[in-house]
Structure 1
Amino acid sequence: MAARNSDNSDGGTMITYEIMAPFITCVNNLIKAITNSTIKVRCVRAYQGFPEDKDDKSLECVFHDSKGTRIQATFPNNLVQNFGNILREGGIFCIKNFFVRPNTLRNKASNHQFRLLMNVKTEMVEVNDHRFLREMFDFKSFSEVSQYENVDDSSFFDVIGVITGPGRVISQSKYRLIEIEISDENHNKLFCTIWESNVDLYLDQLKKIEGTIPIVIIQFCKRNLFRGEIRISTHFQASKVVINADVKEVKDFRMRIREDSRFVQQVSVIQGGQRVGGEYDDLQLKSLEDLSCLEEGSCWVFGKIDSVECHYGEWYFLACKTCVKKVREVDNKFNCSGCTKTHTYAVKRFKFVVNVVDHTSNASLLLWDREGSQLLGRNVTDFLGNGGQVAPKNSIPSLIEEILVGQKVFFKLQLKNHIEYYRSYPFTVNKVCNISKVVDKYTPKDF
């Protein structure tokens, strides 16, 4: 592959490329000692790299060769202007002259042992080849994702499924998120947290698919363990969320579920940007009195918040910024026993108890950060005071009580298999719903 300069009508220099029948190397045959190899690959995904570094404007790409083998490539800041406008997802490229480096990235978009680092000698040109393999997605099954063994939170993968719980936006001072529920063709379910810029993209697409079964692809998501449950989430710019995309994978999935009446009932109903339905369709509630005889599992209950109290003497805790487990402060450092990491700072997260009543009984429920933030509409730091005054950790701020007491809420509880536990400890809340339309619809009539 050779570059040739020619003058254009504007007096500038235009670069064209001539492919000189290069010897194509398969991705699995690349070696670190050779820097002038030529590969022929399809671009699967391109995104701005390493969001942890605000000064890093590099471009990360994932390619696959004619055998489907994937490899990640980095175009450093100084090369983005040259190659950024050429690269496009789905395009086929011949690339020559690059470094082959060990794949030691913290967030891996490919499981290949190597990654590619482009340099000033790199040459790249897009080519046409209708016979070249096209594998834009690397789907994992829900059963594979849900396995507890060897939870890998560093590698990206793709999932496809039907949106059965569209979620609602949770906005905080520093972030926005929406948690959705998706089901595979066998009705296995996964929760997915969509973060930041992907929230608006998701909502915009959701509005446009009224009257159809919403099939979503989460490309380049990550797996994480949250309160003993495997979930997935998007990761900065790397992830991509598409609903009812015009691709073969979605068409094939739709064909496989076309006779399933349960999915037909999931046809979207968008009302003012909020889909009413999914998990809240025909909501089956248990009374607080019922909790005394239920076995292990999960259930929804209604409760009016009567009071708020600390949990073991505190209404928030210091959490690890990586795995959100509680940390221990030692010499101004924060040690986490969950991921065994030490950090210079910790994140403040909600953890408090609400006492609720319904028409049958009362119960104590433990709320963690996600549910607390949703009901309060704020994060911990919003309640810590200003002007140098810090609210005590062992006393519920009066503003929290003002906001919560009197709220009518649906709580999704996770029950253990021995009721003796709850004589001393509160029930753990996994999810809350305070959407007024849903609450008004299902609130017990005699309450």
Structure 2
Amino acid sequence: MPSQYILASQITPLHTRRAVRVHLVRTYEVPELRGGITSKSKECLFHDEEGTYIHATIPKEDVFKYRSLLIEGKVYSVKNFLVVTNYYTYKTSHHKYIIKFNYKTSVKENTQDKHLKCTIWDDHVAAMVPFFNSIQEEPLIVLIQMCRAKVVNAGCNKKLKSDDKGLLFCEKCKRKWQKGVVRYKVVVRVADAHSDAPFLMWDRECSELLGMPAAELIGNYNEEKDEVPTELETMIGKAMVFKVNIKKENKHIYGSAFTVMRVLRDDSIVTAYCSSLAPDQERDLISKMIEECSDDDSDMEASQGDEVNSPNTACKEIQQEGDNQFSPLTKRCLLDQFSSTHNLKKGKLDSIKKEKIN
């Protein structure tokens, strides 16, 4: 039985049910009018494993179907196509025939040649260097555990906006969508023993804390009602350790939220670094802060002109207390706790090497 795939040099008008495995070199759309936005056709230039080039054309009615599928540099398997004489005046190949797509044409990306990109850190780098310098010809099999997978090239993550026709439009990739992906964007008020600040948590952190994706949460509520879901309120009063990103606007714009990079809720970590946030407190910190503010106002009214401390002086005292609590060694320990390879490291805290932190 002959193979399903044939070479580009073997293509003839009789091959209507055979397939080719080709590499997309160039693709472009031909507008109906000069400067117009409507496409007349989509043209593609392929070549096979022997280096034979062949042109392919996609008619107007199927351009939208293959617009996001065909990407230059990738390998595709094309099946159920028509083969016609190369009648173009300006030819991109010397092949006698061209491929013409129709409604039966099937195009699938060849995943056999895909590469998986992996970023390794710390001690794992030293373990991988000998294999890069090795001259062995046999394939190297690597077993990866405890890693974090990330989806790439699956579309952008920008916020979609509605147009006049009710469709969702992305200003970055200039594409329209009938339905988008619901993600978390939650601003919370976080307080410690000295002060409070707004924190911005995105999809990953909220999904880990709540145990459900945003799409599942929004399905339990009516979109027309402006209410805070009960699941989000369960985070109130919980002690956590946050790793945040401090931007320029956080230093100059009062009230701007700090972006949360990661959240730790391990009881031993919270107890070690946030002993004042123990769960056996009778009242949460925000309530105590409100009561302390009320007491301060009462004391100021009762003083009747007595000298009071400057707010700047009070802020400096709080800052000094915070600086004393978090020594350089404590900050180094927190960085290790947030590190993805913390559990793989060996050694004690007293043997930590000095290093420069930007």
TM range (shorter): 0.3 to 0.5
Whichever structure has more strand as a proportion of its residues is 1
Whichever structure has more helix as a proportion of its residues is 2
Give the TM-score of the pair, scaled to structure 1.
0.33
Give the TM-score of the pair, scaled to structure 2.
0.40
Q: Which has the larger radius of gyration?
A: 2
